[in-house]
Chains A and B, each alone.
Chain A
Amino acid sequence: MIDTIIFNDIIHGLFVLILGTAALIINQRSLTSLFNIYAAQSLILAVMAIVLFIEYGTLNLLFIAILTLAVKTIFIPLFLHKVLKRISVKRDLQFMFLSPASSILISAILIFVVYLFFTNIAGDLFADRLILLVGVIGIALALMGMMVIFSRKRVITKTVGYLTMENGVLLFSLFMAEMPFIIEILIVLDLLMIIVLSAVLAFGIDSGMEEFHKKLNRLGIWIED
């Protein structure tokens, strides 16, 4: 369909853009831009799914593209913006364990380490270079999302980190042949996300984790020492 070289370039370009958005998420201090960057990231994923659909023709890909577009690019960011209007917090300035510059340095090294891991563990499995690259980027994206979760204090930023992790898994799944199993995993992850979000909404999304524990303490569910 499309010339292979151009297809490869487009995919590579989209990969770099995704990594760029992930790096920006790690760096962001303003919550509104955080949601916009997340929306951009999901948009790029949708575009990638469409490109793959044009190339390979699997209908599943089209559904995933439309689903991602609807839910992750439009609905979730809109919802988060609405939540943001209700709470007083507009910025997230505190960093635990890792400063933004060192997180990015570590992510760069992580990509390299994940690549080494993949070539050593399953060298023959990844005969197609593209699949290897996708595997590396997907896991790197998930790890970067995890870095956001442990290095920030505000729960709302942690949710965006979690959503990034999920995007990484989605990216990984876009290139795999075995679809149904992956869809199951995705559904489970979405369920988890719904549970976390609802719990957070119940107790206040502008709190940090300590206040969360204090509130649980008051309800008698969490015993503090």
Chain B
Amino acid sequence: MRTTGKTSRRIALFIMLSGLACITTTALICFFSGTDCNLLLYALTPELLFNIHLDRLAAFFTALIGLVAFCCVIYSLNYIEHGGSEKGRHILTALLPLFILSMIMVVASDNMFGFLFFWEIMSISSFFLVMYNREKVETQKAGIFYFVMTQFSTLFLFIAFLLIYRYTGTFDIGYTEALPQVVKSFAFMALVIGFGTKAGLIPFHKWLPYAHSAAPSNISALMSGVMLKVAIYGLCRFAFDVLQPELWWGFVLLAFGTVSAVLGVIYALKEHDLKKLLAYHSIENIGIIVIGLGLYVIFNHYGLQTAANLSMVGALFHTLNHAVFKSLLFMTAGSVVQATGTRNIEEMGGLVKKMPVTAILFLIGSCAISALPPLNGFASEIMIFQAYLGSFELNNPVVEIVMVIGLAAFALMSALAAACFVKAFGIVFLAKPRSREAGKATEVSLGMLAGPAILALTCVVLGVFSFQIIKGIGFDLPVPNMLPVSILLLLIILVFAGLLKLFHVPVRTGETWGCGIQKQTPVMEYTATGFSEPIVTIFRLIFRTKKSNDKEYFDSAESITKRTEAKITTFKFFEERIYMPLANFFMKLAAFISQKHNKDVETFILYAFVTIVLLLVTAGLWL
């Protein structure tokens, strides 16, 4: 019984792999040759169509989805087999292609109805996928929160799309100038809120850490790597392609992006749940992408074409890079979590000796996300840096000073991300294991290594050959050529390693210097809390950790203690000040209305009577 279940899942996944390979190849052909691809699938009514239209932007995103999903499916070949019931695994394998297909169809749709239809399918299928481990209370809470937030975003998308329909008369996605100014601004804000919630912009981000850490790791990789990018595609398409952007939109995007980037990484520094840490970094990187989009709007408005191109291409390139390295990180994190049985990094350690290949893959992912040359994270961040530094050609001092402040925040965020990943990689993989489970970890199976390995290779290729790739797409941008730098780096490393080998330097191992202690135990290693403590103390105004120490005394001279109580509480700003009050308000409203429901028959007839009378009166007056 078990073998046939596993085989049937494997067959399903292999079919998925071939399908994805075909889709990715088609998309890449569309992208590089510049030809559009058009296909009408089904017309519900003459207005509401399901169709595919791959222009360069859509083809780019489709190829992105295809590539990342391909590697996730390879990873899932073995990952699904661990944990969960047989039925659960079948459902996971069944929902996975639905999820991936819905994302591809959202990107490929040329009709707003099709877009929303597949958007909803994407949201609902991902909700079920998140609830995979629904026995745990935290997964249930995460799932419900995610579901509410996704409906919230769809609501705003509906508002924006209906506004556009009202003024253009068609559901087709195409450039329009028919909207008056006020309506356009309103539509833009609705789009930002709708797509921003799905992408994870602050302050609509709260669902992201919960959902991405509760879901199984291959689903987290897909959600974090791909689903957030679908939201970015929507923002690009509707705000830049359909509507014509105004100057203040650029500042709005820049503000949201910078706040998300900086706060995302600062909150990530405090996290000790490996997957929540990665989720907060997703928020940070989405912030970077939105910064790029905002800069594009601003530079376009002032006519600085090179800087505008730099920011747009940088933002889109970062979308691709983030998809690649974030899925890589989530998948290797999933391997680690599955090998050690815990998500808490304080209980891990020493995994580099037990799981060497996973360690190297995680290292490549960490270097990529910390924007270290010559990997791809740096290649896209330097484009945004160059765009910021290109702002000296603007002649408006106010805008330039705003750019400089944005640049400072961007630099801070970049350095903090590197610090966070030194912590993540160092505490999880290096030194000695901090718990017995971590000591018993073993390397994962080949399928779970092959998927991330392909992505790691992509990271390196995209970074080293970034200049050639950008030139190949047809943009002539002032980006540094990483190829000579990488070749030189490799050369120097080989020269010095060769020199030391040549001189036959004797090597031996010994105990770590512990200032005279007899034996090094894992307790003496640095903890994750200790590592991030200086940064947390410096940014304590943002964390607002409250330490309270109440003491009660017997006497007035305060010398005989009766009772003391010490408490450390973190102040969750968005939850306590924004989300919970809103949620409480809606709960009260719902309670009030449901109270009105619990009456007897006579009251209902009364309601109906009053409504009919009112209708008669207003209709009589109006018509």
Is A–B contact present in the complex under a CB 8 A cutoff? yes
Q: Which of A's residues lie within 8 Å of B, judged by CB?
A: 99, 102, 109, 112, 115-116, 119
Nearest chain B CB to A123's CB is how many angstroms away? 12
Q: Are A116 and B541 in contact (CB under 8 A)?
A: no
Nearest chain A CB to B286's CB is how many angstroms away? 25
Q: Is B182 an interface residue (CB 8 A)?
A: no
Chain B residues with Cβ below 8 Å from A112 are 401, 405
Inter-chain CA distance A109–B398, complex, in Å, is 12
Q: Are A102 and B398 in contact (CB under 8 A)?
A: no
Inter-chain CA distance A32–B401, complex, in Å, is 36
Chain A residues with Cβ below 8 Å from B541 are 99, 102
Interface of A is mostly: helix
Chain A residues with Cβ below 8 Å from B401 are 112
Inter-chain CA distance A127–B397, complex, in Å, is 15
Inter-chain CA distance A112–B405, complex, in Å, is 10
Interface size of B in residues (CB-CB distance below 8 Å): 5
Inter-chain CA distance A102–B541, complex, in Å, is 10
Nearest chain A CB to B411's CB is how many angstroms away? 15
- Looking at A99, A112, A116, which has the most chain B CB atoms within 10 Å of its CB? A112
Inter-chain CA distance A99–B541, complex, in Å, is 10
Inter-chain CA distance A194–B405, complex, in Å, is 41
Give the top 4 A-B pairs by smallest Cβ distance, nearest first: A112-B401, A116-B398, A102-B541, A119-B398
- Find the B residue at minimum CB distance from A108: B405
Chain B residues with Cβ below 8 Å from A119 are 398
Chain B residues with Cβ below 8 Å from A99 are 541
- Find the A residue at minimum CB distance from B541: A102
Chain A residues with Cβ below 8 Å from B398 are 115-116, 119
Inter-chain CA distance A112–B401, complex, in Å, is 8
Give 9 pairs: A residue, B residue, CB < 8 Å, sorted on A.
A99-B541, A102-B541, A109-B405, A112-B401, A112-B405, A115-B397, A115-B398, A116-B398, A119-B398
Chain A residues with Cβ below 8 Å from B397 are 115
Inter-chain CA distance A116–B541, complex, in Å, is 28
Inter-chain CA distance A99–B538, complex, in Å, is 11
Q: Which of B344-399 contact A (CB under 8 A)?
A: 397-398
Nearest chain B CB to A136's CB is how many angstroms away? 11
Inter-chain CA distance A119–B541, complex, in Å, is 33
Inter-chain CA distance A116–B399, complex, in Å, is 11
Chain B residues with Cβ below 8 Å from A102 are 541
Give me 7 other A-B pairs in contact (C-beta within 8 A), A102-B541, A115-B397 excluded.
A99-B541, A109-B405, A112-B401, A112-B405, A115-B398, A116-B398, A119-B398
Chain B residues with Cβ below 8 Å from A115 are 397-398
- Find the B residue at minimum CB distance from A112: B401
- Find the A residue at minimum CB distance from B404: A112
Inter-chain CA distance A112–B406, complex, in Å, is 14
Inter-chain CA distance A99–B405, complex, in Å, is 20
